[in-house]
Amino acid sequence: MTAAAADRYKDELLRDRHGLELPDLEGALTGNPVFRAVSPEGLLVLTLRGAQLPTQLLDRVYRFRLMQYLQRGWANAAVVAERGLRVEPYDEVALRDFHTLVVEADTGRLRGYGTLAAARDLGETVLGDPGHRPFVIERDYGFRLADHLGAATSSSLVWEGKRLVRDYAMPRSQAAVSVPWWVYLAWAAACAEVLSHENGAVVGDGKSDGAIHQLRLLGFAAQRLDLASLPPDPADLFAPMWSQEERSYPFILRYADTLKPTLAHLEEVLMSGQDGSVRARLVEFMEARA
């Protein structure tokens, strides 16, 4: 396929906004979400397991994921076109993952997203087991989590955070300003549940002054690993993500006494609907507790 044909496919896919709504989301759920809130701007915020969504809506979530990475230039447009993708590929493990959804309550339009992905191991497996299926960061940075979390740690206690994004096409508004913070808050609620277990950990990667700084601001105990990523496979669907100027680092999140109070304060700030910097108010809160 030519580059021009791949670009045409990408442009057509991005113009097609159909299938990015999650109509009657709460009515379609089975069971209770891990987190639920309705913001003053009319955003429905939920964190839930993939198995709680019907297949049609889970497909739409993965369509949103693909569209966001294409719009940012983080997905390989040639691979998307060659494979005729309209939805990011996923498997049955996605049913175990936590999915954070920020949706416009009146339109059902998905505006923010984050995930906490379960280990891909089949059955009970420890990190040091030769049969352990590596987490994405283990693969991308060429290291073993067993060396940092302990070889005897069950992989089921480790979760991988990723894909925290706001809809690239969302118009400027107070709701747009609040979406990333709602994603962080609802996603962190699932993290707090994971980290409440002994030896529980959340792993991922991000920029030092970006995601890693933000996670510390939210109250996590965040350990940055000084490791460089391996060269990506050019044929990988997300290879372009590694061409950014500022490098990313793997991190490990642990529970800290500041986590729950900071998240409670963040929810209070967001529910107030007040204008102004959320970050500044979090910094002020953390400094007052120091």
Chain-centroid distance of CA 91 in Å reads 17
Rounded to two decimals, the pTM is 0.94
Helix 174-195 / helix 259-272 crossing angle, nearest 10 deg: 160
Residue 220: the pLDDT is 95
Residue 179: the pLDDT is 95
Smallest CA-to-CA distance from 134 within 160, 107, 97 is with: 160
Per-residue pLDDT 10s for the chain (290 aa) are 688 888 898 888 888 877 789 989 999 999 999 999 999 999 999 999 999 999 999 999 999 999 999 999 999 999 999 999 999 999 999 999 999 999 999 999 999 999 999 999 988 999 999 999 999 999 999 999 999 999 999 999 999 999 999 999 888 888 888 999 999 999 999 999 999 998 999 999 999 999 999 999 999 999 999 999 999 888 889 988 888 888 999 999 999 999 999 999 999 999 998 887 888 999 898 888 87
Residue 224: the pLDDT is 97
Smallest CA-to-CA distance from 36 within 153, 181, 186 is with: 186
Residue 122 and residue 43: Cα distance in Å, rounded?
A: 36
Residue 105: the pLDDT is 92
Residue 246: the pLDDT is 87
Alpha helix positions (H), the chain: 3-15, 25-28, 55-71, 77-83, 136-141, 146-149, 174-195, 213-217, 259-272, 278-289
Residue 26: the pLDDT is 94
Cβ neighbours of 119 (radius 10 Å): 21
DSSP 8-state code for residue 154: B
- In this structure, the strands spanning 201-206 and 43-49 are unpaired
Report yes or no: 35 and 47 within 8 Å, Cβ to Cβ: yes
